[in-house]
Homo-oligomer: A and B are copies of this chain.
Amino acid sequence: MAQFVMEFERPLVDLEEKLQELKRLDLAADLELGEEIKELEAEIEQLRVTLYQALSPWERVQVARHPGRPKTQDYVEALCSEVVELNGDRLYGDDEAIFAGLATIAGHRCMVIGHRKGKSTKENIRRNFGSPHPEGLRKARRAMLMAEKFGLPVVTFVDTQGAYPGVEAEERGQAWAIAENLATLSALRVPIVAVGIGEGGSGGALAIGFGDRLIMLENAYYSVISPEACASILYKDAGRAPETASCLRMTAEDLVGLGIADEIIAEPLGGAHRDPSAVFAAVERAVIAALSELCVQDADALVERRFERLSAIGVYAEGE
């Protein structure tokens, strides 16, 4: 498949294409274009750094949504062994927008839960583009409770535009399913490590997206509302999303600043899709470090700290 190009990286891609052309010439005609190639490579390198090293929030959103970006199932494949997938909520259905399974990460036996976007249109339709219905969230909750019952830490991969906004989802209690997951996560007696790997869309993300640690990939975002929806409300113009993306403070760095995320995992220049295996390794290191710290803690203390951590979130004034 042709490389997907985000708008802001067009100038870089143009240069890269030119470089490829030069290299082909070099080989084909055996000409001495070495100097030109070297110069162009230097130029590209500089542009790459300029372009990628200080991405705007809106540009990061583009990177977070890049179709080639590693998805939950890529992390499961790269990090996990001995996987046993769990299906179904035992109430209504099995939602393929949510993955849940027993899995081993570097020797740690865990319960892994994640939003599951597809990699092709066909797969995306089956997985509803990673937007869960209530039965998906209830499957996740069943997995959480099983993890608690058998003393397995929970690792979640967050990557969704949000819970699915459809008639049937409302009929089957989307709000109820989300709220019950929040309550369950808040008091679960095993460690919970959440990793923001791409999109973190509102309640549908939060329903599996917090715990004792929140690790964010550098270009992952997490937001109360999508920048487009926010722009639609405020300006009646979704096209002004680049502005609202900044206002909403939804980047990994913002989240650390707000005391909501703990840690940022650097991505390769250009985004996680440029070198997935480096990202997998970094995520594995971070998850293992978190688990090593959390798993030996006393369960009561763990839950109490999580509650205090949640309770402390918020900025407000008191007094007349």
Which A residues are closer than 8 A to B by beta carbons? 90-92, 138, 172-173, 176
Q: How many copies does the complex hold?
A: 2
Name 9 extra pairs, CB < 8 A, besides A91-B172, A91-B176.
Answer: A90-B173, A90-B176, A91-B91, A91-B92, A91-B138, A91-B173, A92-B92, A92-B172, A92-B173
Closest B residue to A88 using CB positions: B173
Closest B residue to A180 using CB positions: B90
By secondary structure, the A interface counts as loop
Closest B residue to A177 using CB positions: B91
- How far in angstroms is the closest Cβ of chain B from A187? 15
Q: Quick one: which of A90, A92, A172, A176 has the most chain B CB within 10 A?
A: A92
List, in ascending order, chain B residues with CB within 8 A of A92's CB: 91-92, 172-173
List, in ascending order, chain B residues with CB within 8 A of A176's CB: 90-91
- How far in angstroms is the closest Cβ of chain B from A183? 13
Question: Given the complex of chains A and B, what is the CA–CA distance between A275 and B254 in angstroms?
Answer: 74
Question: Given the complex of chains A and B, what is the CA–CA distance between A224 and B277 in angstroms?
Answer: 59
Question: Given the complex of chains A and B, what is the CA–CA distance between A156 and B91 in angstroms?
Answer: 24
- How far in angstroms is the closest Cβ of chain B from A89? 9
- How far in angstroms is the closest Cβ of chain B from A249? 34
Nearest first, the 8 closest Cβ-Cβ pairs linking A and B are: A91-B91, A90-B176, A92-B172, A92-B92, A90-B173, A91-B173, A91-B92, A91-B172
Closest B residue to A134 using CB positions: B91
Question: Given the complex of chains A and B, what is the CA–CA distance between A35 and B90 in angstroms?
Answer: 70
Question: Given the complex of chains A and B, what is the CA–CA distance between A25 and B42 in angstroms?
Answer: 121
- How far in angstroms is the closest Cβ of chain B from A27? 62
- How far in angstroms is the closest Cβ of chain B from A247? 36
List, in ascending order, chain B residues with CB within 8 A of A138's CB: 91
Question: Given the complex of chains A and B, what is the CA–CA distance between A172 and B176 in angstroms?
Answer: 18
List, in ascending order, chain B residues with CB within 8 A of A172's CB: 91-92
Question: Given the complex of chains A and B, what is the CA–CA distance between A176 and B89 in angstroms?
Answer: 11
- How far in angstroms is the closest Cβ of chain B from A95? 14
Question: Given the complex of chains A and B, what is the CA–CA distance between A176 and B90 in angstroms?
Answer: 7
Q: Quick one: which of A91, A92, A138 has the most chain B CB within 10 A?
A: A91
List, in ascending order, chain B residues with CB within 8 A of A91's CB: 91-92, 138, 172-173, 176
Closest B residue to A172 using CB positions: B92
10 A-B pairs in the complex with CB atoms less than 8 angstroms apart: A90-B173, A90-B176, A91-B91, A91-B92, A91-B138, A91-B172, A91-B173, A92-B92, A92-B172, A92-B173
Question: Given the complex of chains A and B, what is the CA–CA distance between A172 and B172 in angstroms?
Answer: 12
Closest B residue to A90 using CB positions: B176
Question: Given the complex of chains A and B, what is the CA–CA distance between A138 and B92 in angstroms?
Answer: 12
Question: Given the complex of chains A and B, what is the CA–CA distance between A138 and B173 in angstroms?
Answer: 15
